[in-house]
Amino acid sequence: MKVEVRISLKRDVLDPQGEAIRRVLTRLGYTEVSAVRVGKLMLLDVEGEEREHVRARVEEACRELLANPIIEDFEVRVL
């Protein structure tokens, strides 16, 4: 199965990379951009027949390795 994992910084965690991108966009004339948050997108091929089992395994992998649960949130979608 194809699984999409989106990882982003928690809302109250500062995002210096996103802020740097926003400043450059502003200098380039994209003044309507008021905020940028940078995240990660991972596409996984996972073997399994049951969608919920696959989702649970990928969520487990996110908590254990793929995301830092202290500062990041993640979203798992089985495609």
- Report d(CA 38, CA 18) in Å as an integer: 5
| Residues paired with residue 42 on neighbouring β-strands, in sequence order | 5
Confidence at residue 20, expressed as pLDDT on a 0 to 100 scale: 98
pLDDT tens, residue by residue, 16-71: 999 999 999 999 999 999 999 999 999 999 999 999 999 999 999 999 999 999 99
Domains of the chain: 2-78 (3.30.1280.10)
Confidence at residue 78, expressed as pLDDT on a 0 to 100 scale: 98
| CB of 13 closer than 8 Å to CB of 70 | no
Confidence at residue 19, expressed as pLDDT on a 0 to 100 scale: 98
Helix (H) or strand (E) holding 34: none
Grouping H, G, I as helix, E, B as strand and the rest as coil, residue 53 is helix
Helix (H) or strand (E) holding 72: strand 72-78
- Report d(CA 15, CA 6) in Å as an integer: 16
